[in-house]
Amino acid sequence: MSFRVSHLQALRNNENSGNAKQLRRQMTQAEGRLWYYLRAGRFHGWKFRRQVPIGNYIVDFVCEAARLIVEVDGGQHAQAIVRDNERTAWLQAQGYAVIRFWNNDVLENTAGVLESLSPALSQGRGRTAR
């Protein structure tokens, strides 16, 4: 008997699982707002997961079918540009597209953020929503 291991599971780092679980319990207001629209296939049928360990990182949201990672960044990321660029480069090398939004964009222009996700999802490796 054989079973398929997902790409995401192959990249999983169990050392980050506890941290990811804590981050799921303590989402920021912006993450909570975006999660409301992304969870349970609410966004055009796309399945997202939140606070997912991938390698040495924990990503805010991931749609495995489209290989898309969505990051919601607060002001602290303005000082961490080099680190964020390295993280993004590593995630892209694993086959993921990464799209970032500032907290205030999610909170003040949720519709615009969601609208910009649609093309990113449709470009995701030629897969379609279920």
Do residues 50 and 60 make contact, with C-beta atoms less than 8 angstroms apart?
Answer: yes
Q: 118 lies in a domain?
A: yes
Does residue 100 carry a pLDDT above 70? yes
How many domains are contained in the chain?
Answer: 1
Q: Mean pLDDT across the chain, nearest whole number?
A: 83
Q: 6 lies in a domain?
A: no
Residue 96 burial by Cβ neighbours in a 10 Å radius (0-12, 13-18, 19+): buried
Q: 12 lies in a domain?
A: no
pLDDT value of position 122: 84
How far apart, in whole angstroms, are the C-alpha atoms of residue 13 and residue 55? 5
Tell me what percent of the residues of the chain surpass a pLDDT of 70.
72
Q: 71 lies in a domain?
A: yes
Q: 11 lies in a domain?
A: no
Q: 39 lies in a domain?
A: yes
Reported confidence tier of residue 123, pLDDT bands at 50, 70, 90? confident
Whose structure tokens read 């780092």? 13
The DSSP code sequence of 69-110 is: EEEEE-GGGGG-HHHHHHHHHHHHHTT-EEEEEEHHHHHH-H
Reported confidence tier of residue 82, pLDDT bands at 50, 70, 90? confident
Q: 93 lies in a domain?
A: yes
β-partners of residue 54 are 57
Range of the domain at 47: 29-57+64-122
pTM: 0.80
Helix H or strand E segment including 58: strand 57-63
Do residues 99 and 69 make contact, with C-beta atoms less than 8 angstroms apart?
Answer: yes
Give the chain's largest Cα–Cα span: 50
**Residue 5 CA from chain centroid, whole number:** 20
User: pLDDT tens for residues 28-39?
Assistant: 999 999 999 999
Higher pLDDT, 37 or 3: 37
